[in-house]
Amino acid sequence: MRLSTNARDCLYLNWAIPLDAAPPLPGELGYEIHRWRDQDWVFVTALLFRFIGLHAQVLPFFRLSYPQMNLRIYVRDASGARSVLYLRTLVPFWVLPMSRVAGRQPATAGRFVYPSPSDDPEVGGWRWSLSNRHALEVSARIASPILGDGPDLGGWTRAVEYFQQRRKGYAMWEDRLRSVNKSRATTEIWPLAAEIQTAGVLAEAFPTLTMDHWSVPHSSWLCPEIPFQFEVGKPRLMSLPNRHRMVAAVSDC
């Protein structure tokens, strides 16, 4: 199924986490590991955005718009391609049937209060909040492009490319690894300074990490609009998780 949409007001919140805090992977995937301070690290992102006019190409007049959050971790697949694995996806309750049945994505229901920075960029700052069993609350403002503590990705521009230039995504659904191939255009970037007030959604996914770890992201920015297409692939059989097969790429930073 090939889908087209615009993603509006995309808030990227990125963190480095210790490798031993990351979950086991299906055998087809391996973590992108970065060596920093004599420890192995991987990156995760919480991406908050709105889908505007999501539609299948075979049904161009049936369009949906709704907020979403996904939590992703950075991996390489069996071909060596830079990819993401979706760990959590939150959508409004009414979107669940489409996400689970048509899209076969491991979505759960959430409640969202999102601002619209692209409609009023002169405002001094914005606040996002979402919740299901747990909450995520974020405040952010436009700031100079600064990278916080974590492995060196080669400066601001290369860091943005590291997180955004990935055409392949994967998600577990009914014990199978499902692929999502994406095509997107280059877009405007607003560097942000972000602070996390509540991080329950993140703590649920990574229970060994404390709130202090999440309070200030490694990097954050906002894309006012990203037009893209993606194709939901057929599910593939999953291999058993194996931590000895995780290392797909190691960088000394």
**pLDDT single digits (tens) 178-187:** 887 766 666 8
Is 0.85 topped by the overall pTM? yes
Q: Got the DSSP string for 190-224? A: EEEEEEEEEEHHHHHHSTTS-HHHHSS-SEEEEEE
pLDDT in tens, the chain (253 residues): 666 777 899 999 999 999 999 999 998 999 999 999 999 999 999 999 998 876 566 566 666 788 999 999 999 999 999 999 999 999 999 888 776 655 566 789 999 999 999 998 888 899 999 999 999 999 999 999 999 999 999 999 999 999 998 888 898 877 788 887 766 666 899 999 999 999 999 999 999 999 999 999 999 999 998 877 666 555 554 443 443 333 434 433 3
Domain residue extents for the chain:
2-252
Of residues 39, 46, 205, 164, the one with CA closest to residue 112: 46
CATH topology of domain 2-252: Acetoacetate decarboxylase-like (2.40.400)
3-state DSSP helix/strand/coil % of the chain, to nearest 5: 15, 55, 30
